[in-house]
Structure 1
Amino acid sequence: MRLIGFAFAALLLVSAAPALAAQPAAAPVAKPVPLETVRWLAGRWEGEGMGGHTVEGWADPHLGQMAGYFTLYKDGKPVFHEMMLLEEHDGGLRLRIKHFNPDFTGWEEKDRSTDFKFVSASADELAFTAITFRRDGPDRIVINLRLRDDKGVVRNEVFQYRRIR
């Protein structure tokens, strides 16, 4: 299982940076985007994605930040976890993620994270390079994540969530 976790970690780490680089540059932000714009993301969400059951949660916006978590489960066991930070940054928003194995050993170096550059935010959508969150009704969200493997092949992972709190 540990080998699978490390292989998956390597795939995501290898895929994240090229996928981010392959996306068009973020458009300049005309006016500051307050985090309150995406308050709809706060709550606990469950659904399917990456071939397993997923759980994601976001705290309410507070002092320019929202903290979040994510876990992927397969065959009744955790595959990996993420700690996430959505924050106001340079007039827009920034998404920062740190990945962890089931035993909570980190994937990124101590002072590193996987960061997604801001593209846009609205009452129903939050877009970054390589990841988009879209509200699909009051209690549903769809997340599209674009990943590139070590051979340069890009795939789109779709997460279908329903609010459970």
Structure 2
Amino acid sequence: MRLATILCVALFPLNAFGQAKLTENTLQLNQGNAVSEVNLEKLQWLQGYWIGEGFGGVCEEVWLPVLGDAAKSEQHMTGTFRLVVNGELEFSEFFLFARRENQWTLRLKHFGKDFKSWEAQDDYTEFPLIRVEGRTAWFRGLTYRINQNDELEAIVALKQKDGSYTEEKIVFRRKQL
């Protein structure tokens, strides 16, 4: 089964506040209740080069600095991720975190080791932002947070064949490029 289908998170009915747990450390979201206003300067803690282990290999993630005009809600962050297993590229991602259709969303495209996109040309995997508190950002089915050791934790909800969800947690350490 392709990892892309595992990473897609389906929407389910939620509580009246628009958010509920999907897994122990991730949230799900009611349609229309994503964050519509946020200053991305609050997410500067994501910026940098991060390396860790997960999905059976070495994971690297790079978040570029926030750019754009906050007053016009035109800020964005971009970055990339790659998974290397036994010294070989397994897959990579390119992502964009920006406001889209009145909500803040992390959109990403997966690429196999042959650089063929897993998603169709105009498709992508989407994680609407639910909330930000301190150095934790909750997206639908994905949580980023800085832990007590100043490491970046990325926790993703993975849908199983039986419809249940499990979590994959990657603990990244900040590195210099």
User: TM-score, normalization: structure 2?
Assistant: 0.79
After the TM superposition, which residues 1-165 of structure 1 pair with which residues of structure 2 at under 5 Å, given as runs?
A: 7=1, 10=2, 12-17=3-8, 19-22=9-12, 23-25=28-30, 28=33, 32-63=37-68, 64-89=75-100, 92-137=103-148, 139-165=150-176
Relative to its length, the structure with more helix (as a share) is 1
Mapped to 1, the partners of 2:31 and 2:90 lie a distance apart of 31
Mapped to 2, the partners of 1:33 and 1:133 lie a distance apart of 16
Shift in CA distance, 38/25, structure 1 to aligned 2, threshold 3 Å: same
Of residues 27-36 and 152-161 in structure 1, the stretch that sits farther from structure 2 once superposed is: 27-36
User: TM-score, normalization: structure 1?
Assistant: 0.84
Instruction: Render the CA deviation track for 1:100-150: whole Å, top value 9, x for unaligned.
Output: 001111000000100011110133111101000001258411111001033
Count matched residues: 155
Mapped to 2, the partners of 1:100 and 1:30 lie a distance apart of 28
**Does the Cα contact within 8 Å between 2:35 and 2:130 map onto a contact in 1?**
no
**Does the Cα contact within 8 Å between 1:33 and 1:88 map onto a contact in 2?**
no
Which residue does 2:16 correspond to in 1? none
Which residue does 1:3 correspond to in 2? none
Instruction: Render the CA deviation track for 1:61-94: whole Å, top value 9, x for unaligned.
Output: 0011111100011111111000011113456521
Which residue does 1:4 correspond to in 2? none
Of residues 44-53 and 129-138 in structure 1, the stretch that sits farther from structure 2 once superposed is: 129-138
Report the residue type matching 2:95 in the other structure: M
Q: Percent same amino acid among aligned pairs? A: 29
Shift of residue 35, structure 1, vs aligned partner = 1.1
Q: Considering only aligned residues, what root-mean-square deviation do their CA atoms show, in Å?
A: 2.1
SS in 1 for 2:51: strand
Structure 1, unaligned stretches of length 5 or more?
1-6
